[in-house]
Amino acid sequence: MPAHVSLLYPFVPESALTGQDERGVRSLAASFPAADLLMEEVVTASGFVGVTVPQLQPVVDAFRARWPGLRPYGGRFGERPAAHVTVAMGADDPTAARVRAAAGRLLPLRTRAAALQLVALTEEGWRSRLTAPLGGPVSPRS
């Protein structure tokens, strides 16, 4: 999985995903405008390196409110983890330190978020289920 922002992980398992879940993702995406992002802060935890994206916190919070029975990261980062781009996971300490330093040299970084992608873990690996534009129309298929 490349660098990414997880809005809610773990999400509904692929085998349990319903059309209602997909409509919920599309509807939430449509309710938020595309956003200019400024990434300035590297954060780390054991085996994890990320870069905070505070501009996406309202989107993250809305997903957590829509699916309240799903506990973000199994509680590993508290009840309301900061919105962030995951840069590395499962890294040993020396590797995480190198990744943190490399990421820090790229900051500040500006980019734009224009869409959400629902990705599911299958037996074959990660698979995209749908893409929904931020601020876009709610269409049955994307």
- pLDDT per residue as tens digits for the range 21-48: 999 999 999 999 999 999 999 999 999 9
| Three-state SS at 103 | helix
Residue 22 placed within a domain: yes
User: Which CATH number do you get for residue 35?
Assistant: 3.90.1140.10
Residue 102 placed within a domain: yes
Q: How many domains is the chain partitioned into structurally?
A: 1
- pLDDT per residue as tens digits for the range 86-133: 999 999 999 999 999 999 999 999 999 999 999 988 888 889 999 999
Q: What is the Cα–Cα distance from 109 to 4, expressed in whole angstroms?
A: 14
Residue 62 placed within a domain: yes
Residue 124 placed within a domain: yes
Residue 104 placed within a domain: yes
pLDDT at 49 over 70: yes
Which residue type occupies 128? S
pLDDT at 140 over 70: no
Which residue type occupies 85? V
Bond into 10 cis (ω within 30) = yes
Residue 138 placed within a domain: no
Q: Which domain holds residue 39?
A: 4-133
Token pair belonging to 65: 């409110």
